[in-house]
Amino acid sequence: MGIKNYIGRAVADRDLVEHTVRKLAKKTKDGANWEEAFVYEFLLKNVHSYLLNIEKDVLGGRQPRDFILAESTRAKKEGMACGTPAKSSGHPFNKTLGRNPGDLYLRWRGQDRKGRTAKFAPVCPDVALLAPYRIVFECKYFNQRAAQPAALPLVEGLFQAFFYRAVPTFAPGTTGLKHGWDYEYSCFLAYDATQNQRLGRAWDALEEIHKRFWDESNIFVIILPLLLPTPLRPV
């Protein structure tokens, strides 16, 4: 996938990426929102640039933003995306592994422990592309402490990408989906900000089955920063 190397080159400078994310990450009640800052600054901006410079033919005279959906309010406000990929009518199951079945049943009954009135959880991917292929993205910014095994967030991220692939097809305009839901592929894209690349190494340890995620589930995996080959110097 050409977009993998395009974004990979844009985030090759680890110091720049991590300094920028720290500076831009908004503070929330749960801590700094590293993921939102990374997705906006380094994913969406580069996807926009990729469409404009590399895939210009697929635009048909339209703007890149017309083919980008993003959960980021800032992206829509600043003209980086034309809408949201969220399916607000929800899904009976949640994308999170380990959800208590009893809690789900209570939610369906309208007796949610947290007082939520919606019986189905909204489906909220981070980003979706409508061209050159219809791809839905689950994005993560991984900077967890070494005491937390990287295998766990890796499996959770892969499952979430699979979850989006399991949502059935909806035509544009149905269930509150302006652009419909008929994604051909799902992408788990993560930036590994740990010093020893723990998330990347956890994925590399599965090398024997990498191709099966693509062949059997249409799930593409991008762990950044990439180990890009060093360009050859002129002789």
What is the per-residue pLDDT across 127-177, written as a single tens digit (0 to 9) for each? Answer: 999 999 999 999 999 998 777 789 999 999 999 999 999 899 999 988 888
What is the per-residue pLDDT across 183-227, written as a single tens digit (0 to 9) for each? Answer: 999 999 999 999 899 999 999 999 999 999 999 999 999 999 997
Average pLDDT over residues 40-48: 96
Mean predicted lDDT score pLDDT of the chain:
90
Tokens of 111: 């007796």
**pLDDT classification of 98: cutoffs 50, 70, 90:** confident
E-strand stretches of the chain: 26-28, 31-33, 68-70, 87-91, 121-123, 127-129, 135-142, 185-192, 219-224
User: Among 18-22, 57-61, 228-232, where is mean pLDDT lowest?
Assistant: 228-232
User: 129-134: long-range contacts at Cβ-Cβ below 8 A with a sequence spacing of 24 or more?
Assistant: 129/47, 129/67, 129/68, 129/69, 130/66, 130/67, 130/68, 130/69, 130/179, 131/51, 131/55, 131/58, 131/59, 131/67, 132/55, 132/58, 133/184, 133/185, 134/182, 134/183, 134/184, 134/185
* Domain chopping of the chain, boundaries: 1-86, 89-123, 147-228
- Full-model pTM: 0.89
Residue keyed to tokens 């950044």: 224
CB atoms near residue 174 (< 10 Å):
12
Question: Which residue did the predictor score with more confidence, 231 or 69?
Answer: 69
Average pLDDT over residues 84-94: 90
Tokens of 157: 């991220």
Spatial separation of the C-alpha atoms in residues 206 and 220, rounded to whole Å: 14
User: 96-102: long-range contacts at Cβ-Cβ below 8 A with a sequence spacing of 24 or more?
Assistant: 96/156, 96/160, 97/155, 97/156, 97/159
What is the per-residue pLDDT across 162-173, written as a single tens digit (0 to 9) for each? Answer: 999 989 999 998
**pLDDT classification of 230: cutoffs 50, 70, 90:** very low
Spatial separation of the C-alpha atoms in residues 49 and 53, rounded to whole Å: 6
Q: What percent of the chain has pLDDT over 70?
A: 95
Residue keyed to tokens 């929800």: 90
The pLDDT assigned to 233 comes to: 34
Tokens of 106: 């209570």
The pLDDT assigned to 235 comes to: 28
Residue keyed to tokens 């419909």: 180
